[in-house]
Structure 1
Amino acid sequence: MYNNSFFKKILVVASVVFLYSCDKDYNEIGGDLIGENNFDLKKETYDVLAYNQKTGPIQSNDLVVNPLGVYNNSNFGETTANFGTQLTLPVTITTISTRPYIESVVLTIPYYYDASKTVTKADGSHEYVLDSIYGADKAEMKLSVYESGYYMRDADPIGGFLQPQKYFTNQNAEFDNVKKPNRLNDDSNLAQNDKFFFDPAEHVVTATDSITKVVTTTRTPPGMQLNLNKGYFKTRIIDAVASGKLATNDVFKEYFRGLYFKMEKSGSSAGNLAMLNFKAGKITLKYNEDLSTTTAGVTTITRVKKTIVLDMTGNSVSLLNTDFAGSGLAYNALPNTGNTTEGDDKLYLKGGEGSVAVISLFNTPGQLEAIRNSGWLINEANLVFHIDAATMANNYEPQRIYLYDFNNNRPIVDYYADPTTNSVNAKKSKAIFDGNINVDATSKRGVTYKIRVTNQIINLVKYKDSTNVKLGLVVTEDIATIASHKLRTPNAFITGAPKASVMNPLGTILFGGKSTVPNDKRLKLEIYYTKPN
């Protein structure tokens, strides 16, 4: 009893001290939030200097998702997205028995689909709606899958073997020039090669057991499913086991250097582009062989079914060919670095091998110091970006943009301070930090993006030794991915960009903070505050 009472008293005292400390900190100038409601608060807006910065070729290896296909954007040109990947053995193989015969070699890669739109019919079949595809539905393209001749090292021999090897968006020619000549997806069904399209239909396989005669039907969601050349894999895989080529993954990856996916237009079709999780892809090789067993001096030969699986979990790279030279493309005419003094009137955010916007706050002399001396209690601060709706009409719009510390290629404090998560869609996490597109209720087109910078501004106001860093703005594929990727040719203005931007194939055009932009569209820093009596 005494101990419990003693600890309760200690807890009460500690709580009082904590609340007093919090209250004291709360009343420091510029050092608090006073709620989420901006009613009766005062608002000030400040000019923002913002300009474009192109990245050029950028590191694109081992992305979580990768584009594949052909996509034309009237503002940013046409992009052809190819892909290279190593194959790995989940189980190494040292022996193959006699008379091996390949039944099938099938490459599978799942597609993303919108589960909320899936329809289940009375017969157990399903109708799916594909997600993360840009362009016309079922647009035909020419798909060729080759054995790669390009060896993808794990470590960088120049940067030191402790550094992973980097691969870049503009290395397509290097992969294409050394690919093996045989097209692996040479099935007579042209939907698997010359007239390939991203098919939303589910895969249905009906099989009859050769012994029991039981018929089974297996249904799987939509995905790429290609029949590969059986004779080629008999020679390159089955026949290579005896020489130890599948005994370890290191030996195997040197021997069979992976796959190269090449996309081209098919006829008059403009094509389309899909985001794929290649890491979930695999090649399944099914074969039969003779199994010899000896019992009591009697040898029995049994024909058995075997499977070899080759995963796509090795090193990989997104390979982009982008034609920016389309007719009248304003983006193509932009300098690599925009107007760093007055800012640009429009900000071009482009994923992949694209561009970022660089943002500088409090550029007017004495502006930040005046806020520090004002006695304000800052409630909220936002950057609101207006979309150039007329120019973006008829183009796919990125669902989210991401603001980060451009100087140090890392998130700003408001990103870390946001604890919100989304169990249904992780891409919707960090809802307070925001950056999600706001759409017009009638047109369903994007109007603005808003990003919360409250803590960033509070720190600048509260701590005079805080560095007023430049901020970077990009399109993002995944708000949870905060790592940075390197430019192939860094310069004095930029050395890297967020990895999640490299993953996103889309672009958007926003109004900048230049004085020539109409005031109702101009980029501004909004600060909501109250001033104690």
Structure 2
Amino acid sequence: MYNISFFKKMLVLASIILLYSCDKDYNAIGGDLIGDNHFDLSKYTSNVIAYNQKIGPIQSNNLAVNALGIYKNPAFGTTNANFATQLVLASPNPEIGANPVIDSVYLTVPYYSTLKSTNADGSHEYELDSIYGESKAKIKLSVFESGYFMRDLDPIGGFQEPQKYFTDQNADLDNAKVGSRLNNDVNLAQNDGFFFDSEEIVETTKDDAGKVTTTRSVPAMRLKLDANFFKNKIINAPAGKLITNDVFKEYFRGLYFKVEKADGSDGSMAMLNFKSTNAKITIKYKEDLASTTGGSPTRVEKSIVLNLSGNTVSLLEQSNTNTAYTNAMISPDTSLGDEKLYLKGGEGSLAILDLFDKKDLKGYDSNGNLTGPNGISDELDDLRNPADGKKWLINEANLVFHIDASAMANSHEPNRIYLYDLTNNRPLVDYYDASTNSNPKKAKGIFDGNINKEVVANGRGLNYKIRITNQIRNLIMNADSTNVKLGLVVTEDISTSASSKMKTPNAFISQAPKASVMNPLGTILYGGKSTVPEDKRLKLEIFYTKPN
């Protein structure tokens, strides 16, 4: 009898804990839901006015990731991505001994890659990431000494503001390049026939005893540079020019990377982190080390490392722009919205979204009584003041953007898009979710914006979904919340929410997210216009509960 009674007590206790847990989970999803009442789950859809805006030349200095190469995008046109960077001495004021002779000078910038396999001989096979265009498509790559000095601060702003550099300044850098190209090796893969190679970098060295050592490293852009230039510029630098990096950056103003089309190739483009600790120029040389016993000096190996971590600028040129894209930028329909939304990274374009019908014929006072127009959408007013007096409790609110599959059929698709408060140029409240992911590109998973693809091998994109539950909850529950305009862009890094300034602001936008400037890709989405097929049309979906 005791065992039966104990079992009953434990069963009751377990039931209470289970019910409490279920109620707790339900409230976490539904926000302010009250578990003791009965609720009916309902769905409400609202039309969205969405239209295109051209960005044009935009601030592109000191980006975390930069494009280099040529990408022919059938949906948008061709992008040429050049690049310029200052150089920084890893160890300022190096001591250079007697009789220095350079052995080699190499520029190394690692690619984004994934290790696929390791062979029995210890070699590795890699797959490159963030390469756009045909595999091993060739481009003409030239690296020049730059004569263009990139300041830290803007003198027009009284040296109080950081200096801005823009995507359309390629002519400035090209005109300021100095001398002949530095990657002048006879191997055409170093210059006129350059391509992004997935092979690992293998180096062998032999010591004085004849022992051979093999070093393997990840795939990288590895260019052999002109040793004679670096002998004159670095080894034989005038006194005091290497003493500090401030002096050095004025003396040696950096490098300018210029890409051109190679014969018979459309080219390809790579995303590169030039500021990586492994992105550098290594000057290897030998010099005399004086004997401490009065004998002959000994030849010793030394090196000087130049990091690519000074000021940088991404230089983008658009050409052969697709006609449909060009026309969409000329006359956006700001009243009814556009049928197609063209999101393009770099100095491309974004979409502006207006939520809720703009008709304003009435309002409500603090007691819920009808008044005249109040500057707030009648639709939003009605959601805030339901006829039955029962306030909605918002479970979830989404925007689903359907991809124009036919228009994007032959183009690389961006993995993620980003929605933000365009009125104030800041993230939405839903951006600050607490979700984590080991893959930084999948961070902020609740907010989402990741591409959803067909569930087949090499499936194409279907749509992107972005959750704005808290944004809509605040709008409906709080009468003082402002229904701001929203901006939609492609993004290279969801964790980067800062903005870059446009060179020429317009009536709608003066800046755009920096992570969009870093992304060279674009996507074409269906808008919210009534002429768009119902199953593809952009709508705001609100899932809510209402107490009986």
Q: TM-score surpassing 0.5?
A: yes
Question: In the alignment, which of 237, 243, 249 is matched to residue 245 of structure 2?
Answer: 249
Residues 133-165 of structure 1 deviation map (CA, whole Å, 9 limit, x = unaligned): 011000011000000111000011112322111
Find the residue that maps to 1:32 and give its secondary structure.
coil
Q: What is the 5 A alignment of 1:217-366? A: 217-240=214-237, 242-280=238-276, 281-295=279-293, 298=294, 300-326=296-322, 329-336=323-330, 338-365=332-359, 366=378
Give unpaired runs (5+ residues) of structure 2.
1-19, 360-377
| Alpha-carbon separation, structure 2, partners of 1:335 and 1:501 | 17
| Alpha-carbon separation, structure 2, partners of 1:332 and 1:294 | 73
Letter in 2 for 1:333: N
| Corresponding residue for residue 400 of structure 1 | 416
| Corresponding residue for residue 178 of structure 2 | 180
Letter in 1 for 2:491: T
| Corresponding residue for residue 129 of structure 2 | 131
| Corresponding residue for residue 369 of structure 1 | 381
Whether the 8 Å contact between 1:55 and 1:355 is mirrored in structure 2 is yes
| Corresponding residue for residue 506 of structure 2 | 491
Whether the 8 Å contact between 2:342 and 2:525 is mirrored in structure 1 is yes
Letter in 2 for 1:213: G
Whether the 8 Å contact between 1:141 and 1:266 is mirrored in structure 2 is yes
Whether the 8 Å contact between 1:347 and 1:357 is mirrored in structure 2 is yes
| Corresponding residue for residue 526 of structure 1 | 541
| Alpha-carbon separation, structure 1, partners of 2:330 and 2:497 | 24
| Corresponding residue for residue 103 of structure 1 | 103
Find the residue that maps to 2:424 and give its secondary structure.
coil
Q: Give the paired residue count.
A: 496
CA RMSD of aligned residues (A): 1.9
| Alpha-carbon separation, structure 1, partners of 2:485 and 2:34 | 27
TM-score by structure 2 length? 0.88
Whether the 8 Å contact between 1:94 and 1:244 is mirrored in structure 2 is no
| Alpha-carbon separation, structure 1, partners of 2:523 and 2:40 | 35
Mark the CA change 1:337 to 1:258 in structure 2 (over 3 Å): closer, same or farther.
Answer: farther
Residues 40-70 of structure 1 deviation map (CA, whole Å, 9 limit, x = unaligned): 6210100001000110000111111111110
| Alpha-carbon separation, structure 1, partners of 2:256 and 2:109 | 14
| Corresponding residue for residue 510 of structure 1 | 525
Whether the 8 Å contact between 2:81 and 2:314 is mirrored in structure 1 is yes
| Alpha-carbon separation, structure 1, partners of 2:164 and 2:411 | 32
Q: Could you tell me how far 1:521 is from its partner in structure 2?
A: 0.7
| Corresponding residue for residue 12 of structure 1 | none
| Alpha-carbon separation, structure 1, partners of 2:448 and 2:101 | 56
Q: Which runs of 4+ in 1 moved over 6 A?
A: none
| Alpha-carbon separation, structure 2, partners of 1:80 and 1:492 | 28
Q: Could you tell me how far 1:334 is from its partner in structure 2?
A: 2.5
1:214 paired to 2:211: yes
Question: In the alignment, which of 150, 154, 159 is matched to residue 148 of structure 2?
Answer: 150
Q: Could you tell me how far 1:213 is from its partner in structure 2?
A: 1.6
| Alpha-carbon separation, structure 2, partners of 1:476 and 1:518 | 27
Give unpaired runs (5+ residues) of structure 1.
1-18
Q: Could you tell me how far 1:292 is from its partner in structure 2?
A: 2.2
1:167 paired to 2:165: yes
Find the residue that maps to 1:531 and give its secondary structure.
strand
| Alpha-carbon separation, structure 1, partners of 2:499 and 2:315 | 18
Q: Could you tell me how far 1:337 is from its partner in structure 2?
A: 6.0
Q: Could you tell me how far 1:300 is from its partner in structure 2?
A: 4.5
Mark the CA change 1:239 to 1:367 in structure 2 (over 3 Å): closer, same or farther.
Answer: same
Mark the CA change 1:520 to 1:124 in structure 2 (over 3 Å): closer, same or farther.
Answer: same
| Alpha-carbon separation, structure 2, partners of 1:437 and 1:325 | 25
| Alpha-carbon separation, structure 2, partners of 1:181 and 1:331 | 39
Letter in 2 for 1:164: P
